[in-house]
Structure 1
Amino acid sequence: MLNGNKWHRPKIVVIGGGTGLPVILKSLRDQDVDITAIVTVADDGGSSGVIRNYVNVVPPGDIRNVMAALSKLPQLYLDIFQYRFNSKDQFFAGHAIGNLIIAALSEMKNGIFDAVQELSSMMKVDGHIYPAADEPLELNAEFADDTTITGESEISAAHKLIKRVWVSSRLHKDKQPEAVQPVIDAIMDADQIVLGPGSLFTSILPNLMISNVGDAVKKTQAEVVYICNIMTQKGETENFSDADHIRVLHEHLHDRFVDTVLVNTKKVPDEYIDYQRWNEMSKEVTHDFKGLKEQGCRVISDDFLELRDNGAFHNGDQVTAELVNLLGQPSWRDSAWR
């Protein structure tokens, strides 16, 4: 990408968490781009939640998966890093080795941010991995019935209509969470910001609700691209259209900051989804192209679907090809293109 008269590798910042983020990062890693992954630190489920409760560190699971996606280590090393104990031992059962390593380094380095930078070097990570905050955060939600709940897993399990979410410091209740400066610098220097794919309320918004992260995403000159989920999620986005996803993002940040939306239009075959195995999936996200345009977004619709293991997921290569294609187009933030 030309910057003045000089060529530089396009800088792509991907913000999110959960299982969708590594899918995109694995494909982006094969492109000639400078990747920064900003990863949520508000997870409280599974092995991550148990470790967090015992040793008061940022939940490491999402960071571990992103690190494996961007690592250039041989596959055997990655398999060991990702290995999850199936022992019946009360302590080790269910824990991933990588989670324990990240937790240990967090204690050694007195914080998750420096720990992840150290481990990224050890893991030969191609890119940058930045925890959204240098401390564990709690996700809070207010529902349509005006009740509130704290905790990412509890919010999803409540199966109620979410009105809004926000984050708070787990260790410093009177302190407003903030991202460290390298996170903000990466957003402001980016050529493209990618949100998702991932759970709207529990993977994407927890990052944006950190005040200086949200402000940076609104102020950056980079094009902001939202990868809309293929399936709605139980307890979060049931009956949502693609326009509903954007509306919620804009309402939370009080600004129309999303420039472009990638929407899958390939239908998921009837009876294909195993809803017992993928119990968080509800049904396909409906399309509301008029609503998306009313939100000020450019809409790119295509076949981004990958069917595997009786579930519906994004095809990382197809999505990445579109992201790279967008880098060569005039910015949607230019009013002449809106």
Structure 2
Amino acid sequence: MTHINLNRNRPKIVVIGGGTGLPVILTGLHQYNVDITAVVTVADDGGSSGVIRDYINVVPPGDIRNVLVALSNMPEIYKQIFQYRFNSNDQFFSGHAIGNLIIAALSEMDDRGIFDAVQELSSLMQIDGHVYPASDTPLILNAKFTDGSQLAGESHISAAGKTIDHVWVTSVDGKTPEAKQEVIQAIMEADQIVLGPGSLFTSILPNLMISNVGQAVRETNAEVIYICNIMTQKGETERFTDAEHVRVLNRHLGKNFIDTVLVNTEPVPKDYLDRQKYDEYLYQVAYDFKGLREQGCRVISDNFLKLRDRGVFHNGEQVVEELMRLLGRPRSWDANELN
């Protein structure tokens, strides 16, 4: 693999999030000569991850599995085995990915916990960078809605069909959720912090609501970049503009901590999206340049759109190229509108 030389010491980039968007960015960053740390949410309670979490009380492994594969230098066949998901007619293993089972087994061995298990697995999988679970114990995502009601559990919150006011996390063991010191050190020493792309309330904010993670992100000297979603999301960000996404992040951390926002301004072709397959996506996020600038953000607006399989995604290569350019730009630089 050819790495691009940035003519400097390896810049330190910390990417925080979860879901399907995180591996897209990490796969792109993996092509560059940068020191990557992925901080991965551990508040997922759905799918194979949720079943494993309920039965053996470990951190849900699904997002961690996908991140490990994105940063692995193993031969492709080994990655495919790690990602293989058993068919639904295999009753005992139905729906489980092999990688999820391996992560769960390692975390249970010798009571080492998920953090140490992932570090050992990172070595075995020849990971180029660092993969850190946001917490060593499973977390529960809690939400209060604008009607005053509350719910616990990421999947329940998304399915409630209500407008979320704010979210917070609690630990299944009753202790105050905290990230390992390695996570905090990576954030404080970073040149660039990248949030997203991913579900605002259920992939990004669960990490930032861990008190020492949120504090580190507020205090770091790194440039904090938010990659705004292209589509609004059912049960989370219905009718949100890009400025409202940023407003929610800033409000949760109590200050305007987002330095730069990457927003897609390329229109999604009408009737392209398969709304049965991607039923959680509603409409394209509206662009509000004035609302973003009022929050002190530098705004990078461009065509970050990738259309594939009747779905709408970020173009990982285009996004990462912009992240690399930002490493060489002073933060006082004003992008204005680039489209």
The residue correspondences of 1:105-120 to structure 2 (distance < 5 A) are: 105-108=106-109, 109-120=111-122
Query: Partner residue of 2:293?
Result: 293
1-side partners of 2:273 and 2:232: how far apart?
13
The residue correspondences of 1:1-338 to structure 2 (distance < 5 A) are: 7-108=8-109, 109-170=111-172, 172-173=173-174, 175-332=175-332
Q: Residue deviations 1:83-123, cap 9 Å, x none?
A: 00005232201000000000000011521000000000000
SS, match of residue 13 in structure 1: strand
Q: Which segments of 5 or more consecutive residues in structure 1 lack a partner in the other structure?
A: 1-5
Q: Residue deviations 1:13-62, cap 9 Å, x none?
A: 00000000000000100011100000000000000000000000000000
SS, match of residue 245 in structure 1: helix
- CA offset at residue 190 of structure 1? 0.1
Q: Which segments of 5 or more consecutive residues in structure 2 lack a partner in the other structure?
A: 1-6
2-side partners of 1:7 and 1:265: how far apart?
32
SS, match of residue 301 in structure 1: strand
SS, match of residue 141 in structure 1: strand
TM-score w.r.t. the length of structure 1 is: 0.95
1-side partners of 2:36 and 2:157: how far apart?
31
SS, match of residue 68 in structure 2: helix
1-side partners of 2:102 and 2:114: how far apart?
11
TM-score w.r.t. the length of structure 2 is: 0.95
2-side partners of 1:89 and 1:288: how far apart?
49
- CA offset at residue 325 of structure 1? 0.2
Which has the higher mean CA deviation after the structures are superposed, 105-114 or 151-160? 105-114
- CA offset at residue 7 of structure 1? 4.1
Report % sequence identity. 70
Q: Residue deviations 1:60-98, cap 9 Å, x none?
A: 000000001000111110000000000523220100000
Task: Give the length in aligned residue pairs.
Answer: 328
- CA offset at residue 8 of structure 1? 1.6
2-side partners of 1:330 and 1:10: how far apart?
15
2-side partners of 1:296 and 1:207: how far apart?
23
